[in-house]
A and B are shown apart, each in its own frame.
Chain A
Amino acid sequence: MIRKLKLRLRALFRRDDIGNELTLHLEQLTDELIAQGLNPQEARRAARRQFGNLTRIQEQSRELFSFGLVEDLLRDMRYGWRSIRRSPSVGVAAVLSMGLAIGVNTVVFSLIQEVFFSKPTTRAAGDLVTIRVGGSSHASLANLRDLDASGSFEKVAGFDVETTVNWRTGDAVRQTPVMLVSENYFELMETRPVLGRVFSGGEARAELNPHLVLITHRLWTRRFAQDPAAVGRTLVLNGRPYTVLGVLPEGFRPPTFLNTLPDLYVPASLELDPSLLMRQSHTLMLVARRKAGQTIEQAYAALQVVANRMARDNPKENAGIGKSIRLRPIGSLADPDTAPLIAFSAVLVVAVFIVLWIACVNIAGVLIARAAARRREIATRLAIGASRGRLVRQLLAEALLLASLGTLAGLSLHWYLTKLLNELSLPLPVPIVFQIEPDFKLVVYAIALTAIAALLAGLMPAWQATRPGLTSGLKMEEPQYGYRRFTFRNGLIVAQVAITMVLVSVALLFARSLARVHSIDPGFDLQHTAWARVSVLSDRYDKGHVFLFASRALETAVGVPGVRSAALSETVPFNNFMRIGQPIQTKASAIGVEYYGNSVSPAYFETMGIPVVAGRPLAASDRKGAPDVVILNEALARRLFGDGPAVGERIWFGDSKQGPGVEVVGVAANSKHLTMGENQAFAVYEPIARTQPAKTEINVLVRSAGDPASVVVGLRGALSALDNTAAVEVGPLRTRLAFAYLPSQIGAVFVGSLGALGLVLALIGIYGAMTFAVSRRTAEIGIRMALGASTWQVLRAILGTSVGALCTGLAIGIGLAVAAAHPLALFLAEGVTPMDPITFGSVILICLSAGGVAAIIPARRVLSIDPMGALRVE
């Protein structure tokens, strides 16, 4: 097999071999004949006669050796290349269209592969499974160790990505996400660091409070400029020196889902989590390596046995642990949390395929135009016996050439875009990072796309071009003067416009949704507010002292120049929340409600700009020991007391009406708590001086006189000075809540740019088709003008069908877009429906004006035609 291939390749590149051999034979024959006494000329002729048809023999042998298809293809591509070189602008437009389409297609492919299918960096990643026991996402370290010791798996380790540490560099302390790992984590992962070493199970035990940290290659590059001396340095985390033990390999990927990739890996320890050793304290997510040869089913059965035993051994803490167990291979998509992401990916995939389709239609347009111009050539070749298949192949080769060049351009775009994506840092509380590397799969995908594109773009024009009757082709007749209104080319315009409509409508829906989200009034002021979050270390403050520190922080904030008022708040809208579901009793009735609870200091309403519409705000006197008071929001007050006054009423939380109850002293206006989309959520505000929460995260909200950005520096300095181990993060509330807009922003950016891209591509296509229609019919225009047709009549005759096609496309497109937009309701902000009339109105307007712009230049060309010149075209 290989030998044959080699011989064929040799024949392909050394075409003359066979020719040489035969010529030689001929010469020897001639020599012989001369020796027999013939004169050279006669000898040559005789040899020739004896030899027979040299070319036929040559071809016979060559066919034996050659890959006929490949050679034809190469020849056709060379031919195609020459014709592209002749009209480069058209070729460049086609290649760019295809490049953009292939670029976005491959980027989406890479993104999906990265987010859903990337494998953790470890030996035999397929052997890793995630485990859940007792229905809980996390498990305690004690249970982890029991599972590991059970011998049912090769190893069981744990990790957590929701932990943060306060990382001090210089004077700044930043709250930094870390990966908290069990001592045997890297032994399970079998990680080989690029520098230093990973920690071993012995030195990293939680009880030892190991002050060790591993850093990613990314951090090593950004922070330490790949300095080998970084290993052995110390990082001040939570006020303690942690030694950098090693640098993880480049692109290291832990078995977490959805690209949560922290830069620091620290062993779980009692210092970081004082409750770590308690069996009820679920701290770590479990990952296990199956034993060699163990199937998923066997592993599951083994887990069941161990879980049952663990439930027996610790009946109190592990109650019911064996009833709900789960064991899944790493990277399984079965997680219900991923459903919206998968749906969004599907939208992206459909959108990029539409873009690809539009690009294909553009190339098809170019090829049709070119094929029509070559009508006589094609008809001639058909007439002298070229097979139709051969000509179709030639046009396909041109499409393939354009598509291949486009793919090259597309891959450069891919390289650029993924570089941007890899450097992107999302304003999210979890460290979501992309590390997209081009790989073999991407190349295969790109090649597949190229082939599909070439077929889509080439087959129809090829079929079309080789169809017309021979005689009309030879006579350069245009077979569709006036009579056939629906031509293939117009069909392409219809399809292109319709598809573009779908894409643009979806893009506009997302954009509208984004605008909507931004225009929603959250019910509090975003213009003059800043938010400082101070995270203190739990081991530095006793329970009661955290609130004392918070009070000091509040006083400090009030003293910062430019600060008008400041308030403490247990929760910050969109950031964290307490949602409480319980009955609230009034004198008259008991009503079960779910509400957002918050504890705030007196100036909260003033600071946040939430009006107190009845009664009074909280006061300094509402504190521990004073009578219980609350403020309700309007929605809850109405729910509890109808249209009657709420202020002065007493309410009781919970099932019983014992004790004096709580007095409602005020009603605050409604505002948003968790999402922009929520509507009329219930809320209860309690005085923070009474509840005195012991949380180590203290939120200070500040109202500034002017731009909130102007107080950020002063605030950070003043608050940092209070405790040099505390992490202080300060910023305008507006920017710090930016991630609340992120889902709709991402949607709008992705789909919006695809929509714009599709529109531009379609514009090029329509322009091309119309220009072509004009140039093909120059002679006809000349005749019409010569016979006295008015400009308007000529325009209507020439561009009428194209405009008709445009309108047909619009009509079909609207139908398709309505159908396509329906499944998107999931991603749209409240108030924007998939049937949004404004969106569809603007889409029609945009597409019509785009069509108009595309038609202007061809129309001008019609008007500038000189009848005499036009008649002489042929």
Chain B
Amino acid sequence: MGKASSGEMLQGTLPLIVLRILYAGPDHGFAIARRIQVISKDVLRAEEGSLYPALHKMELEGWIESEWGITENNRKAKYYRLTPLGRKQLKLETERWNSIAAAIGAILMEA
């Protein structure tokens, strides 16, 4: 847990990040957490305490679906996969993020 505050997720961005990572292909919880860490070069960390509830909530929303499978090192794991609905949601959230980022950027430039 005890990482610097920079490692914490921005409110409400975890689903977007998870959706984007699953866009690349099905994966299980542990791998998702690792990938977030690796891709963001350790800037972002998905804490287990928020990752799993978020995954379960997204499953309930129908954006992702799950299935038990076997990991590369022969462990049983629950794999999450993007659904068509999830793809749509990813597009929606990406657009929203871009517009927010652009807006914040504009404010930072102008002010």
Check if B29 sits within 8 Å of A21, measured CB to CB.
Answer: yes
Cβ–Cβ contact B75 & A64, under 8 A: no
Contact B60 A57 (CB under 8 A): no
Q: How many A residues, CB 8 Å from partner?
A: 25
Give Cα A64–Cα B53 distance, bound, in whole angstroms: 8
The reply to whether the CB of A60 lies closer than 8 angstroms to some CB of chain B is yes
Report B42-72 residues with CB < 8 Å from chain A CB.
Answer: 47-49, 52-53, 56-57, 59-60, 62, 71
- Max count, chain B CB within 10 A of own CB: residue among A4, A25, A60: A25
The answer on a CB contact under 8 Å between B62 and A3 is: yes
Q: Which residue of A lies closest to B76 (CB)?
A: A24
Are A7's CB and B59's CB within 8 A?
yes
A183-222 residues with Cβ-Cβ distance < 8 A to B are none
A872 within 8 A of B: no
Does B17 reach chain A (CB closer than 8 Å)? no
Interchain CA distance A29-B47 in the complex, whole Å: 12
Q: Which of B33, B57, B62, B76 is within 8 Å of A64, CB to CB?
A: B57
A52 touches B59 (CB 8 A): no
Q: In the complex the two chains form, is A57's CB within 8 Å of B48's CB?
A: yes
Contacts of B52 in A (CB 8 A): 18, 21-22, 25, 57, 61
Q: Contacts A3-B62, A24-B76 known; A64 to B56 CB distance under 8 Å?
A: yes
Which chain B residue lies CB-closest to A22? Answer: B52
User: Are B56 and A61 in touch, CB under 8 angstroms?
Assistant: yes
B29 near A25 (CB under 8 angstroms)? yes
Chain A 14-36 against B: per-residue CB contact (8 Å), 1 yes, 0 no?
00011011101101110100000
Judge whether B1 is part of the interface by a CB distance below 8 angstroms.
Answer: yes
- Inside 8 A of B48's CB, which chain A residues have their CB? 22, 25, 50-52, 57
Contacts of A21 in B (CB 8 A): 29, 52, 77-78
* Residues 1-42 of chain B, each 1 if its beta carbon lies under 8 Å from chain A, else 0: 100000000000000000000000000111001000000000
- Bound-complex Cα distance A4 to B53 (A): 15
Give Cα A21 to B59, complex, Å. Answer: 14
- Is the CB–CB distance between A60 and B53 below 8 Å? yes
CA A51 – CA B49 in complex, angstroms? 7
Given contacts A24-B75, A61-B52, contact A29 B30 (CB under 8 A): yes
Give residues 73-88 of B contacting A (CB, 8 Å).
73, 75-78
Contacts of A52 in B (CB 8 A): 1, 47-49
Contact present for A64 and B60 (CB under 8 Å):
yes
Chain A residues with Cβ under 8 A from B30's Cβ? Answer: 24-25, 28-29
As a 0/1 sequence over residues 99 to 111 of chain B, the CB contacts with chain A under 8 angstroms (1 = contact) are 0000000000000
| A56 proximal to B (CB < 8 A) | yes
Asked if A56 and B60 make an inter-chain contact with CB atoms under 8 angstroms apart, the answer reads no
Known: A24-B76, A57-B48. A50 touches B1 (CB 8 A): yes
Rounded to whole Å, the gap between the CB of A19 and the closest CB of chain B is: 11
Also in contact, A56 and B49, with CB within 8 A (given A24-B30, A64-B57, A64-B60): yes
Q: Which residue of B lies closest to A25 (CB)?
A: B30
Give chain B nearest CB distance to A13 CB in angstroms: 15
B50's closest neighbor in chain A, by CB?
Answer: A57
Bound Cα distance A24, B66 (Å): 15
The distance from the CB of A424 to the nearest CB of chain B, in whole angstroms, is 56
A65 at the interface (CB under 8 A from B): yes
Q: How long is the Cα–Cα vector from A833 to B76 in the complex, in angstroms?
A: 82
- The CA-CA distance from A807 to B42 in the complex, in Å, is 82
Q: Report the bound CA distance from A25 to B75 in whole Å.
A: 10
Known: A24-B30, A24-B77, A25-B30. A4 touches B49 (CB 8 A): no
Q: Which of chain A's residues have a CB closer than 8 A to the CB of B1?
A: 49-50, 52
Q: Which residue of A lies closest to B75 (CB)?
A: A24
Q: Given the complex, which residues of B lie within 8 Å of A50, measured CB to CB?
A: 1, 48
- Distance of A136 Cα from B47 Cα, bound (Å): 86
- Residue among A20, A53, A64 making CB contact with B49, cutoff 8 Å: A53
- Across the interface, do A57 and B75 meet the contact criterion of CB distance under 8 Å? no
Known: A25-B29, A52-B47, A57-B49. A18 touches B56 (CB 8 A): yes
Shortest distance from the beta carbon of A22 to any chain B beta carbon, whole Å:
6
- Nearest CB in chain A: distance from B58 CB, A: 10
A849 to chain B, nearest CB (A): 63
Look across to chain B and name the residue whose beta carbon is closest to the beta carbon of A49: B1
Distance in Å from the Cβ of A364 to the closest Cβ of chain B?
40
Question: Which chain B positions have C-beta within 8 A of A31?
Answer: 73
Q: With A21-B29, A25-B30, A57-B48 known to touch, is A65 a contact of B56 (CB < 8 Å)? A: yes
Q: Can you pick out 25 interface pairs between chain A and chain B where the beta carbons lie within 8 Å of each other?
A: A4-B60, A7-B59, A17-B78, A18-B52, A21-B29, A21-B77, A21-B78, A22-B48, A24-B29, A24-B76, A24-B77, A25-B33, A25-B48, A25-B52, A28-B30, A28-B75, A51-B48, A51-B49, A52-B1, A57-B49, A57-B52, A60-B53, A64-B56, A65-B56, A65-B60
Give the interface of B toward A (CB within 8 A): 1, 28-30, 33, 47-49, 52-53, 56-57, 59-60, 62, 71, 73, 75-78
Considering the complex of A and B, which 5 residue pairs feature the smallest CB-CB distances, nearest first? A28-B30, A61-B56, A52-B49, A60-B53, A21-B78
Q: Which residues of A contact B (CB under 8 A)?
A: 3-4, 7, 17-18, 20-22, 24-25, 27-29, 31, 49-53, 56-57, 60-61, 64-65
If A57-B52, A64-B56 are given as contacts, then 13 extra A-B residue pairs at C-beta distance below 8 Å, sorted by A number, are A3-B62, A4-B60, A7-B59, A24-B30, A24-B76, A25-B29, A25-B30, A50-B48, A51-B49, A52-B48, A52-B49, A53-B49, A60-B53
